[in-house]
Structure 1
């Protein structure tokens, strides 16, 4: 009988521990298996912490952890970990200060707000940190809406946001420590950020700003806080102001929401039947293991599943609130994504048709 791993015989019996250890070592030499295990274990630890301690905005920790670990990135250095933590705090601080000091002066606020949007998009188009730009855009859009609800709400949410981001950064370190990359794994080096003026990046940033600014102006002015998600989705869809890419982003998020919603419904129903914490953790690990294996499978549909896992976590978390209705939450999320998608696609079509400046390479 041939086997992939050696068997160690003690008397007339085989030692299963040696066989399991050999299989585990072999698995850790497979880059795909390592990423699958790392995402599954890392996201499960994040869920365990979030739901056992349950601090303000704790659900963001597993969301951020899934987003980072679903990318084929190398182990972050201590420098990059601290850099991400500082960027999270800086982005949220900018949003809070801008809101607290300039929102009472609407003309000045929207002037600075527009410039901040432009420089955020310009920064990422020159190769800047995606994490920082994402945090900054969310902060710029979310803080004014929260201030309209209550003056101190923006600061409170910022603290929860920052803490959840910091915990996620450290959990990524833990996941890489527990499941390290194979020594043979080689990652391409990220090109350095271009610090010079880049005309193409400025044009793309200006287009993105023209897409997002009108809807932000409308929602903040009329305090449409119930639809803040439309602004945030619009900001994400307009990161690349290309019509075809915008359509693809909308399609991807809608399909991901349907997949995540279906899984979240089954997940929630099983937990209602067996409301035990250990069952919750085991079930989530198994679900994340299935999602992770698809995410890193290389299949055409793999692109939907990291966002689907995030959607599942968000929808499940919302359904745990007292008096929450899962169907209502799901349909509302689909509606808000659709509204943002239709707006961004129409805005990009308008810009493509009437854009007065020829493209320059």
Structure 2
């Protein structure tokens, strides 16, 4: 009898390690939970970013990062925040030079991405050049500290990805999507798309950074990300997907938050997080049309719960504020794209 039970258990374990969806779900839950345990256990500056980045990357059907790719991403993060600090510490004191340089850098980032460039570097650079000047308007030392914490968290994320893939590796027969190769030649379509994205993002970024409107920082970030594909339908769809994901994540965050308030123990928090990550991971890798909402929804859950755990915070206020900021970004993108397509790009096409 015991031999049969042992054989059955071995068969189940073998089937799990041969199931791509099961391995990705377990890797997602393990990686996110371990990242949160390390981040909140040590609690360095901007530690909460490591679980967010870990969840964002493990939710994608990507292979284990190679040593070369990992090193490239680490260097890319350092380069991105070096650019952001150069904006904050040198160009910000010369407003006209700063605005001209900001427009050029935004254009080149979008142009680089549209030619098949690294999404990781583009994301890091966007965050750096949009957030650091806002912080530097208040305190330059704070901007340097923010950069150090951000780089440290992103580097630890790469280590966490290696650990998660080591514990729960993909089966040898797993197929991964082929990444488009970067093109060094001039592309008229990529340049036109980059110009369109820049014309949408630059005005709102210039106004918000010039007047130090840090309370509405997320509007700039969301606008810059939603407009990665400057098509009216796709920009609107990206914004609506983010809004629906936030509502989904906010609903689960509400239950999650009140459960950890009822049982304020770190072990219970990790157990609850692991169970929640398993639930979300099962839907993320289900292959259904709603999978995309669960991927972004889990990140929204992490961000909302982390914000709600701060002193003197209000959970309902945080959720409502995030929804309003996303709606503001969607409204701005739709209006800006309609104006551009009506008075400029439509005429150019004709």
Q: Please give the range of the TM-score, normalised by the shorter of the 2 chains.
A: over 0.9
Q: Secondary structure at the match of 1:269?
A: helix
Residue 306 (str. 1) matches residue 284 (str. 2)? no
Residue 74 (str. 1) matches residue 63 (str. 2)? yes
Match of 2:221 in 1: 232
Shift of 1:93: 1.1
Shift of 1:16: 4.2
Match of 1:6 in 2: none
Match of 1:33 in 2: 22
Residue 339 (str. 1) matches residue 328 (str. 2)? yes
Residue 173 (str. 1) matches residue 148 (str. 2)? no
Normalised to the residue count of structure 2, the TM-score between the two structures is 0.97
User: C-alpha separation between the residues in 2 aligned to 1:359 and 1:79?
Assistant: 42
User: C-alpha separation between the residues in 1 aligned to 2:25 and 2:320?
Assistant: 30
Residue 144 (str. 1) matches residue 130 (str. 2)? no
Q: CA RMSD in A?
A: 1.3
Whether the aligned pair in 1 keeps the contact of 2:239 and 2:326 (CA below 8 Å) is: yes
- For residues 202-234 of structure 1, give each alpha carbon's deviation from its aligned partner in whole angstroms, at most 9, with x where no partner exists: 000000000000001110111111111110111
Match of 2:273 in 1: 284
Counterpart of 1:266 (choices 241, 252, 255) is 255
Shift of 1:18: 4.5
Q: Which has the higher helix share?
A: 2
Shift of 1:187: 2.1
User: C-alpha separation between the residues in 2 aligned to 1:131 and 1:15?
Assistant: 49
Shift of 1:358: 4.1
Q: 5+ unaligned residues in a row in structure 2: which ranges?
A: none
Whether the aligned pair in 1 keeps the contact of 2:64 and 2:165 (CA below 8 Å) is: yes
Correspondence list, 1:184-333, <5 A:
184-333=173-322
User: C-alpha separation between the residues in 1 aligned to 2:198 and 2:248?
Assistant: 31
Counterpart of 1:107 (choices 96, 99, 116) is 96
Q: Secondary structure at the match of 1:300?
A: coil
Counterpart of 1:350 (choices 316, 332, 339) is 339
**Which one is further off, 118-127 or 146-155?**
146-155
Whether the aligned pair in 1 keeps the contact of 2:88 and 2:140 (CA below 8 Å) is: no
User: C-alpha separation between the residues in 2 aligned to 1:94 and 1:196?
Assistant: 24
User: C-alpha separation between the residues in 2 aligned to 1:231 and 1:253?
Assistant: 14
Shift of 1:20: 2.6
User: C-alpha separation between the residues in 1 aligned to 2:164 and 2:67?
Assistant: 14
Shift of 1:58: 0.7
User: C-alpha separation between the residues in 1 aligned to 2:234 and 2:113?
Assistant: 16
User: C-alpha separation between the residues in 2 aligned to 1:98 and 1:349?
Assistant: 31
Aligned length: 349
**Which one is further off, 15-24 or 206-215?**
15-24
User: C-alpha separation between the residues in 2 aligned to 1:133 and 1:223?
Assistant: 23
**Which one is further off, 183-192 or 324-333?**
183-192
Residue 157 (str. 1) matches residue 136 (str. 2)? no
User: C-alpha separation between the residues in 2 aligned to 1:111 and 1:39?
Assistant: 42
Q: Given the superposition, is the C-alpha separation of residues 301 and 84 from structure 1 closer, same or farther in structure 2, using an over 3 Å criterion? A: same
Shift of 1:359: 4.8
Normalised to the residue count of structure 1, the TM-score between the two structures is 0.94
Q: Given the superposition, is the C-alpha separation of residues 275 and 16 from structure 1 closer, same or farther in structure 2, using an over 3 Å criterion? A: farther
User: C-alpha separation between the residues in 2 aligned to 1:86 and 1:211?
Assistant: 29
